[in-house]
Structure 1
Amino acid sequence: MLAVIKKIFGTKNEREVKRIRPYVGDVNKLEAELQQLSDEALAAKTAEFKKSIVDATAELRSALEELQQEAQGGDAERREELKAQIEEADKALREAENDCLEELLPQAFAAVREASRRTIGLRHFDVQLIGGTVLHEGKIAEMKTGEGKTLVATLPLYLNALTGRGVHLITVNDYLARRDVQWMGPIYHKLGLSVASIVHEASYLFDPTFLTKDYRYLNLRSISRQEAYRADITYGTNNEFGFDYLRDNMKFSIEEYVQRELNFVVVDEVDNILIDEARTPLIISGPAEESTDKYYIIDRIIPKLQRGAVIQGDPNQEDRAAIEKQGDYTVDEKSRSVTLTESGVAKVERLLGVHNLYDPRQIDTLHHVQQALKAHAIFKRDVDYVVKDGEVIIVDEFTGRLMPGRRWSDGLHQAVEAKERVHVREENQTLATITIQNYFRMYKKLAGMTGTADTEAPEFKKIYKLDVVVIPTHRGMVRIDHPDVVYKTEAEKFNAAVDEIAERHAKGQPVLVGTVSVAKSEHLSRLLKEKGVKHNVLNAVNHEAEATIIAQAGRYGTVTIATNMAGRGTDILLGGNADFLARSDMENEWISRAAKLPVQGAGRYEDALRELREKYDEDVKKAEARYRKDGEQYEQQRSDALKRSTELQRQIREISPYREARQRYEDLSATALIEALHNMRAIPDGFLRAKQEFERHLLSDNGSVEGLDAAFAEARQEFDQALEQWQQRNGDRSQFAEVLDDKRRNYEQRAIDMEFDKALATLADGEHAELVQEYTTVHRAFEEAETHCEEIRKPYEAAIQEAQRNYENKRQEYTRMVEEIREQLDKAPDEYRQRFDEILTNYTKTCAEERERVIAAGGLHILGTERHESRRIDNQLRGRAGRQGDPGSSRFYMSLEDDLMRIFGADRIQGIMGRLGMEEGVPIEHGLVTRAIENAQKKVEAHNFDIRKHLLEYDDVMNKQREVIYSQRREVLKAESLKEQVLEMAVGLNEDVVARYCNKEDNPRDWDWPGLREGMHHQFNLRLDLKPEEQDSLNYDDLCELAEKKFTEVYEDKERRFSPPMLRQLEKIFMLQTIDTLWKDHLLSMDHLKEGIGLRGYGQKNPLQEYQKEGFEMFEEMVHKVEEDVVQKLFTVEIAREAAPAAAVPPIMSMEQPRPQRVVLSHGDEAIGPGRSDPKKRAADKVGRNDLCPCGSGKKYKRCHGR
């Protein structure tokens, strides 16, 4: 029935396209008229369009400006009222402007088409006009590869730029942001609009009169970032736009802001940016003081743990319980998580010397162990990341491309660095962050274009309120998509794939083979090499040769193996790309002339890179083979001995004579001591007595400290001193709590180790002598096996490092040389034009001839070796064939051992296979299997969508708070005076101080007058000295009014002494500094809250609601703290007196100013800023970074004067 209805009325997409076609007819009617116009008359059309918009919206614009002018003055309450009215007026103005654009659409599109024809020689097809209309309406246009998305974008960009509000186009990389402006710039310039390009650390304006010897920047004049955003149209990457937004909201002057309003944006490759990148936040980070040694220490214990079962799919509770009893940790592939088993926890505690890994005070240690386990068990080299130039670089799981500068968060990247034995970079603290999702949702109108969006249409609709419209192709699609072929094992699948590749290669049909990782692409390459099939490999390891390899991929008989890199942004032309091939030959001619090559006789650039990689892989294999031969035996011995000694250690602790005393101490340490530290109170006597009792038992044999282990004696002395200092402190103990906890941790570790050693000695002569003897023997066996493992591993690691060093050095030398040659060719192509034209003429003829042969052979064949988790990525790979009506075909080869099948569809698909009678080595093609695979993909897509939706729901909480803070910052920057706001905050704080020390219901004689005096002095620098008779005569309201009057007088006096301009400046500085500092701390607190909030589910509470509730409470506390700090700083600041005439820089204020801090832009943690230098000290007086600061603050030296 539904099919019949669709046949009669058409699908929703067909109806949408049909609705738009009349616009296309209107544009076509204007074509002949515009062709008659002169260049000047055509350019004048833009001014005509702009004037019509201004005239139609004049009244609304005037009303908005009046409201904005009124909002500059008035009190806070009136400003709030006007704020809502301004929003409504702006909305009405935008709607009116959009109505004007709807009327102008045919004329504007016709003008763009004519300008394009005159400047770059391209005329928009009708289907491109449909695509442009869809984008203007704020929707997503799905357009197949080769249909001209770059040209389509010029239509809505020009139309929406007519309002003067600025429009943006988001590209996937800097190269396209620059190239597209150079390519499309003449169209905009012909029509009188300015267009700019924003790339990393540079901005350019398109100027056809600007000439340079460097051809790469032809017609691109360097400008400031602010000027680039002032252009009518701005091209750039999502990272640059997002980071500019964050940077703007950290600035101390509104004049320094570079971005203007976020009006209209067209996102190219919208599925990649809004879906694939949605889980990755943009982060500006600064230094956090954490040692990197812990990563190496924890990484060393991971190989000593035994991997248990791998959880696939969704096992029931009983199966999961059984699985979790195997090995030291289990791996859940679906959720990409690792869980320690009971035996694993015991081993980790033993290896790290931690008594209780799940003690709340060991939460950091547990976190780092879990991240190290994930680094070893989940994250695979040459799949999830590559090691290049001594760095761990993430591989984009969707595109297969490297993502330098991006880092995993929460210590995971550091754990992978420790695993790979490269330099571990410090963790950083977030200063500002926003997700890609929430950045683009701030635009008033959002549109996007891509070749594959329809499968994700529900997500686009739900998250971004974007409809997807599939645009018809200019020529019909004739690609043949063959059914999937499924094998039982991966080996069978690859063998069959190799056979088909060889068969198609023999008849001359070009084949593009898609793989999901670097490792799989290189495995398939080895199989083809054994078969004698010549081929090229393109992956993240040799991405430098991407353009050259893709240029050849459509040539007669060419076989290309590629990761997902070849799935996006690359056109494969049948017969080859003559221009790229000529360029490649030019490069290789110059390479061959180089005096010294790191790879002799390699031939072409891509061949040299492949040979280098093959040599490296061979060296690594040899080293691994040597290690396996000698090391596996000792590894097993070590694992067995560790397991048994851990169990014996647990038994001995259970029967230790000191167990009860230790248990009492541990119980009170985990309760009474922690509660005292948390509440900043004196430590209870019960804990101190339990500590003394435990020590008495430890000292029972010798009765004095002299016989104690030196390490324990030192730890005990330091802990006692810290406890004594804590008890003596009557004021704020908050900064001292961390020091005391560090000393406590060190003391307990030493004490528990000593207690175990004493237990061994005590039990050795009694009824448990055999147990002690067995432990001693097993422990010795563990140490011997450990020694053997280390001895064997050292030469293995040295061999691996040497192979890596040789490979990286030669690859760097080779790629550097090629980049220099490319730069020469790019900078001044005219110098090499004659030789290039000769090569190009030959290739143009050759490629045209090969094109006919390739078409006769069936066009480009796509062979997928594995289904991706998302159907969209599969469609991208398929989309490489059948470009612009060319013939082509595709087929996917799969096995039951593929990740998708194992994790998400194994049981169901295996059941189908069994019913169909599947035999080893025999493939199966059946509708049931295809549907089961699609269902598995849909299940994964739903799973990933839930993750993104879940993250968005949590980030929405932060987003609302971010909007409030950034809005408040802007208001502070725009305000001429904050005096009224400061005094309003002071009034509220005054009531808080009075309420804290004076109960309204009590007699004034019972109020805490000394506390009130101290509170007023602390908050307002106000001496509220009242005589007893004055105190008795005041009621609560009178006291509030008196205090308000006095602190207002104090502030007025300060204004006279400082001068109003200086105090206005200080108000702004203190307000901004305080907001920024506390916002940074709040971001960290919210991260910590989010990490543990999921556990609330076990208490039958909704974690999201709990996060919203507590996040709001924390935000309110932060806002209140901002008010407290700002008021306190402003009331206590004084002009500093110059201490000596020799001072190099005259001081301005006595309040300490925060030092500048180098910030890092990334998708995770990155580099560290400079520290503060200390006065010179004698060597004997040197203070350790973790010692108490000599200044007496109670802080660690590194957090005080050691900064």
Structure 2
Amino acid sequence: MFNYFSKYINKYKNQHILNSIKKKVEIINFISKDIEKLSDKELSNKTNEFIFRLNKGKDIDSILFESFAVVKESINRIFGIKLFDVQIIGGIVLHNKCIAEMSTGEGKTLTSTLPAYFNSLYKKGVHIVTMNDYLAKRDAENNIPLFKFLGITVGINLSNSSFEEKKKSYLCDITYGTNNEYCFDYLRDNLVMNYNDKIQRSLNYAIIDEIDSILIDEARTPLIISDQNKNNSSLYLKINSLIKYLINNDIYFEKDKYFILDLKFKQITLTENGFKLIEKLMINLNYIKNENLLYLPENIILVHHFIISLKAHLLFKINIDYIIKDNKVIIVDENTGRAIEKRRWSDGLHQAIEAKENLEIQNESYNLTSITFQSYFKLYNKLSGMTGTAYSEKEEFKYIYNLDTIVIPTNKLIIRKDFPDLIFLTEKDKIKAIINDIIKCHNKNQPVLVGTISIEKSEFISNELKKIGIKHNILNAKYNEAEAEIISQAGKPGSITIATNMAGRGTDIILGGNFNNEIKNLKNKDISIINKIKNNWKLNNNIVIKSGGLHIIGTERHESRRIDNQLIGRSGRQGDPGSSKFYLSMEDQLIKMFISDKMLDLISKLDFSKLEHPWIDILIRNSQKKIENRNFNIRKQLIMYDDIYNNQRNIIYKIRDYFLSIDDIYNIVKLFIDEIINNILLKFIPINSNKKKWDIEKLNNFLIKDFNFLDLLLNNIDIYKINNDCLIRDLIYKKIIENYNNFLKYKNILSTIKSSIFIKKLDLLWREHLNNLDNLHKGIYLRSYAQKNPRQEFKLESFNLFNNMLFSWKFESLVVLNKFIFNNKSSLDENLINNIY
């Protein structure tokens, strides 16, 4: 009952917002009538007029409406395309810092030009975010004629762009790029040693295409810049041999005796017997002499390597979680099915898989800096996005990003037929039915898109089709170079395309094929050839429509209903005919996860080879909802931890920027000296203490050792005549400050050595601090056994760690500075500074 009312209220709220926006669309369309009368020059000059009016603080709404009308008319003149009202609605939604859910083929790329143009008038930069380089380049190049006509500069930020190209692209009014590149550029900017080497401007406004994929599916994916560490290949190889021995002897098949497997989250938990097994094995291998030694700090790494190698063998599968390409292990993204060549698993997992596959083991790495998509995009002053499937995640978008989700109506009614799921007892029977469905469609020239959840499944179906001689295209992490081209032609008569998950997302499947691509690839642009291609497409389009449109086949249900809907949404664009059908089996992972063994046994005894029933859909939806809720709850739990990381990272980056941007650091150094010296004095001469508790000798030795103050205190007779702790601290403080007058004659070179000393030391301690936070985070759950709140404990301890790190930075920087100054160096000696570190 509650769900019913909740759905009703949400639907009412969405319609209420749409009704309000439609009134604005009417105003824009009314203004468009006057805009249509303008000459090209008058139309393009509108940009300068808008900028002038915005700078004067004129009515923003009137400029917004007029600017949308200008873009609408410009699109018509440049591309010969008239925007639909639903696209203008989408543009307003995006401008209002919301998510626009727009179905496939509704024209999201042109929709984004409306808010991008208006917000670019502020000259603070607009970032349009896509999922890969191809889409960024395609969308930018397609829209450059429009923005050039309006006097707006456009930059393209790709993974292979040079430093100069990136810097130039960020200075443009509108920049197209990928989520990965924006994040990595941000991280790289905060590692530079010269302020002029930074390439990003302030993070003003971002429009994210396929926002659900980036901010939900990949939200927790850390973007890491790392450096190489020592090579422990021999240890990985030895542990790998040990794990192979255990597997070959069926030890791990003794369920839950030695370790418990979590298939969903790919985790292994050792039981008490498991720890005893490791102890015994390590003693036999002469790694340790007795079981007690295993838990010493220097030996605990053996347990870590054992668990990591177990994970590599039992939980990570080739052609599902990774592929091997050019003798390297390449991660396959579980959400997109794409190979991610620039990413490696951390904590030694990548090396363990390399050992498992008998490949060269690459050096371990340590993190220089990292950030998640979730954390990065929350830094923007203004954020919006668009996708075909966001409404099911509206609660999460609101909770984490404070973004409302608005469902935009389609321009034409969707007439696609979505057939009920069909379930089979065995995987073999399911595959047979899928092949028969493909053959049936192929025989009547109906194009088919087959969606799989893994490379392994896609290649299995491909091999089955090869056996019966049916031509097809396969699209997975192994063959993603021609992804967009393959998908764009998946609507040709009789074509069969097998794709993993979201392969080709962002590219429309046009019934009859994409004739624009064919024309674009022509070397000879003869009009007769172009007309022939267009006429041929009309014929093919008619054939496909008569055959029923694009048919979608799902080989099993994904854990998220939203990703299933993304596959289904590839068919039925702009009122086209189409259909979809999912084939399931009792052996599917999703069904095994949420149906008990007893239920599976009962169903298997039923006399059926296939079953089509409403309860199947209810069962699947409930299973998917459970997983989605669990994942959302996990992400909610992690937000608090993320916020702590983010707040501390922001402080460190602001400190870095401050030191990079100022030339005279003399005053800030003096503040450091005041803080450090006062802390030191309180340590050796406590407040309200008598003379017996003072330790002048240790204080003197401390100052000699760390600050090169040679017998500053012991040679001063006045010190021993004072009995008041305040007076003694005051006198010693003055004596120390007198020594720091040495800074005055070195003031001119402080700005030169600031990067070598203060920023390098800050970077070093920040990396160590991140490692300490990670270790704290991994073990904080144990506090719950002591009746303590792990999150509150983490918050408190991370705060103390951070403050201690900042104090250490100031102290250690001054120590290095003193070594530099009191060694009477008359000019900067970089080798000296580097040697200190």
Band the TM-score falls in, shorter-chain normalisation = over 0.9
Taking the aligned partners of 1:1021 and 1:952, their CA distance within structure 2 comes to 46
* CA displacement at 1:166 relative to structure 2: 1.6
Taking the aligned partners of 1:1107 and 1:287, their CA distance within structure 2 comes to 29
Taking the aligned partners of 1:948 and 1:246, their CA distance within structure 2 comes to 23
Q: For residue 322 of structure 2, what is the aligned residue in structure 1? A: 385
CA contact (8 A) 2:84 2:411 kept: yes
Taking the aligned partners of 2:637 and 2:462, their CA distance within structure 1 comes to 40
Pairwise CA RMSD: 2.9
Task: From 246, 251, 263, give the equivalent of 2:204.
Answer: 263
Q: For residue 499 of structure 1, what is the aligned residue in structure 2? A: 436
Taking the aligned partners of 1:548 and 1:441, their CA distance within structure 2 comes to 33
Q: For residue 467 of structure 1, what is the aligned residue in structure 2? A: 404
Taking the aligned partners of 2:665 and 2:436, their CA distance within structure 1 comes to 77
Query: Cα 1:4–1:450, aligned 2, differ >3 Å: closer, same or farther?
Result: closer
Cα displacement string for residues 179-211 of structure 1 (whole angstroms, at most 9, x for unaligned residues): 2222111222222221211112426xxxxxxxx
Cα displacement string for residues 1125-1147 of structure 1 (whole angstroms, at most 9, x for unaligned residues): 12222233238689xxxxxxx97
Task: For 2:107, give the aligned amino acid.
Answer: G
Q: For residue 1149 of structure 1, what is the aligned residue in structure 2? A: 829
Task: For 1:441, give the aligned amino acid.
Answer: K
When the two structures are aligned, how many residues end up with a matched partner?
Answer: 826
* CA displacement at 1:275 relative to structure 2: 1.2
* CA displacement at 1:957 relative to structure 2: 1.2
* CA displacement at 1:1151 relative to structure 2: 7.4
Q: For residue 1100 of structure 1, what is the aligned residue in structure 2? A: 787
CA contact (8 A) 1:993 1:1015 kept: no
Task: For 1:155, give the aligned amino acid.
Answer: L
3-state SS of paired residue (1:353): coil
Cα displacement string for residues 354-382 of structure 1 (whole angstroms, at most 9, x for unaligned residues): 44385143221111111111111111101
* CA displacement at 1:1026 relative to structure 2: 4.0
1:192 aligned onto 2:151: yes
Taking the aligned partners of 1:4 and 1:987, their CA distance within structure 2 comes to 63
Q: For residue 850 of structure 1, what is the aligned residue in structure 2? A: 540
* CA displacement at 1:1032 relative to structure 2: 2.8
CA contact (8 A) 2:279 2:294 kept: no
CA contact (8 A) 1:168 1:264 kept: yes
Task: For 1:868, give the aligned amino acid.
Answer: H
Which segment drifts farther, 898-907 or 927-936?
Answer: 898-907
Task: For 1:1126, give the aligned amino acid.
Answer: S
Query: Cα 1:1001–1:466, aligned 2, differ >3 Å: closer, same or farther?
Result: closer
Taking the aligned partners of 1:530 and 1:1044, their CA distance within structure 2 comes to 87
1:102 aligned onto 2:61: yes
Taking the aligned partners of 2:281 and 2:410, their CA distance within structure 1 comes to 60
* CA displacement at 1:846 relative to structure 2: 3.2
Q: For residue 183 of structure 1, what is the aligned residue in structure 2? A: 142
Taking the aligned partners of 1:233 and 1:1061, their CA distance within structure 2 comes to 41
CA contact (8 A) 1:181 1:235 kept: yes
Q: For residue 1119 of structure 1, what is the aligned residue in structure 2? A: 806
Task: For 1:882, give the aligned amino acid.
Answer: G
CA contact (8 A) 1:488 1:895 kept: yes
Query: Cα 1:7–1:381, aligned 2, differ >3 Å: closer, same or farther?
Result: closer
Taking the aligned partners of 2:830 and 2:86, their CA distance within structure 1 comes to 68
Taking the aligned partners of 2:576 and 2:797, their CA distance within structure 1 comes to 58
Cα displacement string for residues 799-840 of structure 1 (whole angstroms, at most 9, x for unaligned residues): xxxxxxxxxxxxxxxxxxxxxxxxxx7xxx6xx326x97776
1:887 aligned onto 2:577: yes
Give matches, 1:248-259, under 5 Å: 248-259=189-200
1:12 aligned onto 2:30: no
3-state SS of paired residue (1:331): strand
* CA displacement at 1:171 relative to structure 2: 1.2
Taking the aligned partners of 1:164 and 1:548, their CA distance within structure 2 comes to 35
Taking the aligned partners of 1:455 and 1:907, their CA distance within structure 2 comes to 30
3-state SS of paired residue (2:834): coil
1:553 aligned onto 2:243: no
Query: Cα 1:548–1:1015, aligned 2, differ >3 Å: closer, same or farther?
Result: closer
After TM superposition, the runs of 4+ consecutive aligned structure 1 residues lying more than 6 A away are 1-9, 307-311, 836-839, 1135-1138
Give matches, 1:263-662, under 5 Å: 263-306=204-247, 323-325=255-257, 329-340=259-270, 342=273, 344-345=277-278, 348-349=281-282, 352-354=285-287, 355-356=290-291, 358-361=294-297, 362-566=299-503, 568-580=505-517
Query: Cα 1:156–1:908, aligned 2, differ >3 Å: closer, same or farther?
Result: farther
Q: For residue 1017 of structure 1, what is the aligned residue in structure 2? A: 704
Task: From 185, 209, 212, give the equivalent of 1:244.
Answer: 185
TM-score by length of 2: 0.93
* CA displacement at 1:284 relative to structure 2: 1.5
Which segment drifts farther, 455-464 or 335-344?
Answer: 335-344
Taking the aligned partners of 2:601 and 2:469, their CA distance within structure 1 comes to 38
3-state SS of paired residue (1:267): strand
Task: Please identify the structure whose Cα radius of gyration is greater.
Answer: 1
CA contact (8 A) 2:332 2:339 kept: yes
Taking the aligned partners of 1:309 and 1:938, their CA distance within structure 2 comes to 35
CA contact (8 A) 1:567 1:876 kept: no
Taking the aligned partners of 2:376 and 2:344, their CA distance within structure 1 comes to 20
* CA displacement at 1:1064 relative to structure 2: 4.0
Task: For 1:106, give the aligned amino acid.
Answer: F
Give matches, 1:80-95, under 5 Å: none
Taking the aligned partners of 1:548 and 1:6, their CA distance within structure 2 comes to 39
Taking the aligned partners of 1:145 and 1:1082, their CA distance within structure 2 comes to 45
Taking the aligned partners of 1:291 and 1:495, their CA distance within structure 2 comes to 47
3-state SS of paired residue (1:477): coil
Query: Cα 1:6–1:1047, aligned 2, differ >3 Å: closer, same or farther?
Result: closer
Task: Flag structure 1 segments of 5+ consecutive residues without an equivalent.
Answer: 58-99, 204-221, 312-321, 584-824, 1139-1145, 1156-1199
Taking the aligned partners of 2:682 and 2:269, their CA distance within structure 1 comes to 50
Cα displacement string for residues 867-926 of structure 1 (whole angstroms, at most 9, x for unaligned residues): 001111101110111011110000101112111111134469649948xx83242x2222
Task: From 74, 78, 81, give the equivalent of 1:115.
Answer: 74
1:152 aligned onto 2:111: yes
CA contact (8 A) 1:993 1:1016 kept: no
Q: Percent identity?
A: 41
1:1052 aligned onto 2:747: no
Taking the aligned partners of 1:429 and 1:1015, their CA distance within structure 2 comes to 33
CA contact (8 A) 1:1136 1:1150 kept: no
Taking the aligned partners of 1:1150 and 1:572, their CA distance within structure 2 comes to 59
Query: Cα 1:384–1:581, aligned 2, differ >3 Å: closer, same or farther?
Result: farther
Q: For residue 945 of structure 1, what is the aligned residue in structure 2? A: 632
Q: For residue 726 of structure 1, what is the aligned residue in structure 2? A: none
3-state SS of paired residue (2:480): helix
Query: Cα 1:444–1:548, aligned 2, differ >3 Å: closer, same or farther?
Result: closer
Taking the aligned partners of 2:830 and 2:436, their CA distance within structure 1 comes to 79
3-state SS of paired residue (1:833): coil
Q: For residue 670 of structure 1, what is the aligned residue in structure 2? A: none
CA contact (8 A) 2:472 2:496 kept: yes
3-state SS of paired residue (2:776): helix
3-state SS of paired residue (2:227): strand
Task: For 1:571, give the aligned amino acid.
Answer: D
Cα displacement string for residues 747-806 of structure 1 (whole angstroms, at most 9, x for unaligned residues): xxxxxxxxxxxxxxxxxxxxxxxxxxxxxxxxxxxxxxxxxxxxxxxxxxxxxxxxxxxx
Q: For residue 897 of structure 1, what is the aligned residue in structure 2? A: 587
Taking the aligned partners of 2:716 and 2:164, their CA distance within structure 1 comes to 67
CA contact (8 A) 1:1020 1:1047 kept: no
Task: For 2:200, give the aligned amino acid.
Answer: Q
Query: Cα 1:1067–1:581, aligned 2, differ >3 Å: closer, same or farther?
Result: closer
Cα displacement string for residues 578-627 of structure 1 (whole angstroms, at most 9, x for unaligned residues): 354678xxxxxxxxxxxxxxxxxxxxxxxxxxxxxxxxxxxxxxxxxxxx
1:27 aligned onto 2:31: no
* CA displacement at 1:1066 relative to structure 2: 3.3
CA contact (8 A) 1:864 1:892 kept: yes
Task: For 1:987, give the aligned amino acid.
Answer: D
* CA displacement at 1:1018 relative to structure 2: 3.3
Which segment drifts farther, 881-890 or 426-435?
Answer: 426-435
Task: For 2:449, give the aligned amino acid.
Answer: L
CA contact (8 A) 1:552 1:581 kept: no
* CA displacement at 1:347 relative to structure 2: 5.8
* CA displacement at 1:1044 relative to structure 2: 2.1
